[in-house]
Structure 1
């Protein structure tokens, strides 16, 4: 009987079988909640092919972009070079269940940092929150519902308030900017479309 894949194996295989070039669009929630922030130091957990990090770098941020998959980081580095922002992004490989980037950041963002292979997600997000500098922002976007074509169907999805509570943050040390579900139109692998919910947490450290 073969053993279950590790997170690193799963994501290395995933990125080895997709196009090295993405659509170039940053995440909707990243744009919505950070476009008015003054640039500083940003940390992106799970950078994938790098569109969010490239968008931040173009706006003047100094970005640390983290992923578990070597192939994803290679694609993201190529993305940065194509957009002439390679000097503004530092790429680091981390299995966040084992190692973590260092430093303090004015923005820490994690968009759909979810995996079918368990990696201790809530512990990772709590560690991420600890890296937010005073006055900095934590932005976490997660799946709040499943598309009709998806086989990812936890039952039930955590509510936004439950997702915030799982971070175990000191309420006196954090200001709520937004905690809720936001609806968006998603497109499936075969061109299907449907409305889904994202669970979005935007918190500012006092």
Structure 2
């Protein structure tokens, strides 16, 4: 995931992310992503897959609402930290989450098995991104939903401090292209505005939000 103004190495693999998480006691805010709260808050709990789960805020939010969550991340440092955060909550919350270390560009989730598949701010290069979207879509059970959130490419045009690599950004069409025609209903596909403080300056930013329901 990329959330901040920074230079990107050619390969953001396991070593990169483990070192990133070791660099501070908490890297992210500890709060669930606002688009997950907005889009999934009204869904009935079932089985959820949280891809790129980081320090676990989204997985914990889902588990506290009754979801059984498989939380996947490439960094064992992040997963250990997330499990520790879960242990601080009610025992039944921690029991609802399975923490799984995996490189999601190479790992295939069980298909179809999840009532909600969520991927927040997964900024990969086009080829692994296309494979990821196909795998996420395949993992959604009939009647389940897919939620993909990312920094919208328009942020680059507006001067928001983002990694200066347009290849890492994408529009909703790339996500929708991974959905088999006639098998999905696209509920949301928009660039949603908000505010984010970066380097001490508050910017108007836009996040891509795509939410789709698998028919059946």
Normalised by the length of structure 1, the TM-score is 0.88
Q: Root-mean-square deviation (CA), in Å? A: 2.2
Q: What is aligned with 2:185?
A: 175
Q: Which whole-Å deviations, capped at 9, do the CAs of 1:109-146 have from their partners, x for residues lacking one?
A: 0000125x787122012111101000000000011024
Contact residue 14 and residue 75 of structure 2 kept, 8 A = yes
Whole-Å separation in 2 of the counterparts to 1:87 and 1:164: 32
1:149 to 133, 149, 161: 161
Q: Which whole-Å deviations, capped at 9, do the CAs of 1:23-69 have from their partners, x for residues lacking one?
A: 33111110111100000000000000000000000000000000000
Q: What is aligned with 1:196?
A: 205
Contact residue 126 and residue 167 of structure 2 kept, 8 A = no
Residue 111 of structure 2 corresponds to residue 125 of structure 1: no
Structure 1 gaps of 5+ residues are none
Contact residue 56 and residue 63 of structure 1 kept, 8 A = yes
Whole-Å separation in 1 of the counterparts to 2:190 and 2:12: 32
Q: Which whole-Å deviations, capped at 9, do the CAs of 1:182-202 have from their partners, x for residues lacking one?
A: 0110121x3321011111110
Distance 1:158 1:97, change over 3 A: closer
Q: What is aligned with 2:175?
A: 164
TM-aligned CA deviation for residue 5 of structure 1:
4.5
Distance 1:202 1:165, change over 3 A: closer
3-state SS in 2 of match to 1:182: strand
Contact residue 130 and residue 174 of structure 2 kept, 8 A = no
Whole-Å separation in 1 of the counterparts to 2:127 and 2:25: 25
Count of aligned pairs between the two proteins: 200
